[in-house]
Amino acid sequence: MTQSVAGSRAGVTPTARTGRRHPDRPHTVVRWRSVLLWLVVLATAVLWMLPLAFALLTSVKSEADILGTSLFTLPTSLDWENYVEAIQTGNLLQAARNSLMIALIKVPAGLLISAAAAFALARIRFRYSGIVLAVIAFGAMVPVQVAIAPLFQVMLALDLLNNPLALVLPYIGFGLPYQVFILYGFFRQIPAELDESAMLDGAPNRRLFFQIILPLSKPALAALFILDFVATWNEFGIALVLLQRQESWTIPLAVQGFQSKFTTSYGPINAFTLMSVIPVLVIYLMFQRYFVQGAFAGAVKG
């Protein structure tokens, strides 16, 4: 080991000597490496922002600018026409209303149902609760497309096709597995002594759930709420099959519909796409820490 230390010092000296102004040689090397790393990260970050930057740039260019100049040139003048055109021809507002309504109902309702199920599995624990948990958790790993054709038949039989509100039902079903799994892990970590104090009252489980377990789980619930809102807003595969009339479309369907209808209206397409992501961007920037927490919960609990 001592040898390798000597070796690495020896290897380092020549580079350090070039930076003469700093007398402490190893530090200089470390600093130069940090600067280099920082530059690489910066360059990568700039590269990562380019796709959105191109979309933004194109969305404010006139058609003449888009077709006549290169992608990198700045617009001759800011042109908001694309946004107006996108809103007017793309049914953006109606799709946003549908998406918002679905998310505002689905996310709280789904979370409550998931939390109740996780509570039953984690705190009441009955005979086959382990198996029930495994069967539910399994659903988190199965692609929607495995079940989509029969799901269409189920919704057809219930007369719920082309009904944005009814989309909430399968969304709750497909959202359950992950949430139950995460909340199960969270509830299990709450000390059991808390149960006993609640048990002394008349309706022990209901009280325990609403007055002790739920309030104690606020961080996990908040993280799941935000993650689920974004996931619901972005969902495409199920909506594509169940909502076929334009007036029932959600935002992702409207984005896809606009793109395939006005293939070469590059300005409006980019404007439409950008407007469709603004809500999730705002939510992400406002609640950034919950995304990290949610990811962390997933990483720890597996």
Partner 1 sequence: MSSPTSATAVMVPRRRRRARRLRAALPFLGPALVAYVVFVLYPMVESIRLSFFEWSGFVGAEQTFVGMRNYVRLFTQDTVFWTALGNSVIWVALSLAVPMLLSLAFAVALDRKLPGRALFRTVFYVPGVLATIAVANIWRWIYNPRYGVSESLAQTLGLEWLQGIQWLGDADIALYAIFGAFVWQAVGTNMVLFLAGLQSVPPELKEAAALDGAGAWQRFRNVTLPSLRPTMVVVVVLTFIGSIKVFDLIVGMTGGGPAQQTQVLALWSYQLSFANNQYGMGNAVATVLLILVIAVVVPYMLWTARREQS
Site for partner 1, residues 14 to 53, rule: CB under 8 A = 34, 37-38, 40-42, 44-45, 48-49, 51-52
Q: How far is the CB of 48 from partner 1 (least distance, A)?
A: 5
CB of 262 to partner 1, least distance (A): 11
Restricted to residues 91-130, the positions that interact with partner 1 (CB under 8 A) are: 113-114, 116-117, 119-121, 124-127, 129
Among 77, 146, 191, 202, binds partner 1 (CB under 8 A): 146
End-to-end CA distance of the chain: 38
Kindly tell me which of 44 and 88 has the beta carbon lying closer to partner 1.
Answer: 44
**CA angle at 145 for the pair 132 and 252, rounded to the nearest 5°:** 110
Contact 233, 279 (CB under 8 A): yes
Rg (CA), the chain: 27
Distances 197 to 204, 207, 210 between C-alpha atoms, Å: 9, 10, 14
Residues whose CB falls within 8 Å of the CB of residue 39, separated by 6 or more in sequence, listed in order:
none
**Interaction of residue 76 with partner 1, rule CB under 8 A:** no
Q: Does 139 bind partner 1 (CB under 8 A)?
A: yes
Judged by CB under 8 A, does residue 290 bind partner 1?
no
Among 71, 84, 104, 165, binds partner 1 (CB under 8 A): 71
Residues 170-229 contacting partner 1, CB under 8 A: 170, 172-174, 176-177, 180, 196-197, 199-200, 205, 209
How much helix, strand and coil, in percent to the nearest 5, is found in the chain?
A: 80, 0, 20
For tokens 């909430």, what's the residue? 168
Q: How many residues bind partner 1 (CB under 8 A)?
A: 106
284 interacts with partner 1 by CB under 8 A: yes
Q: Which one of residues 64, 104, 156, 286 is an interface residue with partner 1 (CB under 8 A)?
A: 156
- Residue 89 CA to its chain's centroid (Å): 28
| C-beta of 55 vs 101, nearer to partner 1 | 55
Say which amino acid occupies 246. Answer: Q
Q: Residue 98 Cβ, how far from partner 1 at the closest point, in Å?
A: 14
In the structure encoding, which two tokens stand for residue 260, read together?
Answer: 């395939």
